[in-house]
């Protein structure tokens, strides 16, 4: 089990586009068999900053995500909307370890 | 619905203590009626850095958490184990908005 927190800083005039594209990616990603969560969050302090909380049951499942059509399509679509390159921070899961609680 | 990402930087010799205390807090917090998630994560790049992913269905539920015995007990217990003061970053939820998917 692992979680990647992807921090995204979006150009102000692309926030609505980014949300629409990312909600679409969320829907397809949560349907992947090894996905546990794919939460899309917007900073309260700065609405141009987003956090994607991507939880997968294995390294393989996380890698498989990066080969999906929906991920590649999202990646291409949002590329020009970033204010700075997005940054992924990897974490191990301490709790909960029970798959049923994800 | 809101998520607070609490970033914690723990003294190296207190990592095991911090994990034990925080897993206990996780168990009690996830039993709160308004809690949606309370994930405890450890950085892969630096095992002294942790992320608490605290999701609540309302502001009121998040505030109620701070008045619980388990939170106050955890707060007191870990206070001296921090390398730097912990920092909470508040987010609004974009997806999923369906309560059943939390």
Answer yes or no: is B24 within a domain. Answer: yes
Q: What is the reported pLDDT for A80? A: 97
Residues of chain A scoring pLDDT < 70 = none
| Helix ranges restricted to H, chain A | 15-30, 59-65, 69-78
Residue B64 lies in a domain: yes
In a domain, B45, yes or no: yes
CB contact under 8 Å between B90 and A3, yes or no, is no
Task: Quote the domain boundaries for residue A73.
Answer: 2-93
For residue A78, the domain's CATH number is 3.30.70.100
**Has residue A100 been placed in a domain?**
no
Shortest alpha-carbon distance between residue A85 and chain B (Å)? 19
Domain assignment present for A99: no
Residue B21 has what pLDDT? Answer: 98
Do the domain assignments include residue B102? no
* CA geometry: angle B27, A58, A53, nearest 5 deg: 60
pLDDT at B67: 98
Q: Encode pLDDT of B10-50 as tens digits.
A: 999 999 999 999 999 999 999 999 999 999 999 999 999 99
pLDDT reported for residue B50: 98
What is the H or E stretch that residue A7 is in? strand A2-9
**Closest CB from B39, B50, B92 relative to A44:** B92
Total domains in the fold of chain B: 1
pLDDT on residue A90: 97
Considering the domain boundaries, does residue B74 fall inside one? yes
Average pLDDT score over residue span B68-95: 97
- The answer to whether position A24 is within a domain reads yes
What is the pTM (predicted TM-score) of this model? 0.97
Residue of chain A nearest B53, judged by CA positions = A53
* C-alpha dihedral (B79, B80, B83, B84), degrees to nearest 10: 40
């Amino acid at each position: 089990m692992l979680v990647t927190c992807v921090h995204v800083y979006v150009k102000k005039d692309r926030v609505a586009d980014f949300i629409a594209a990312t909600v679409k990616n969320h829907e397809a990603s949560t349907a992947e068999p090894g996905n546990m969560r794919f939460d899309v969050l917007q900073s309260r302090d700065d609405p141009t900053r987003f956090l994607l909380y991507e939880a997968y049951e294995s390294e393989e499942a996380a890698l498989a995500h990066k080969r999906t059509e929906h991920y590649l399509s999202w990646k291409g679509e949002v590329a020009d909307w970033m204010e700075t390159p997005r940054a992924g921070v990897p974490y191990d899961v301490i709790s909960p370890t029970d798959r049923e609680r994800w």
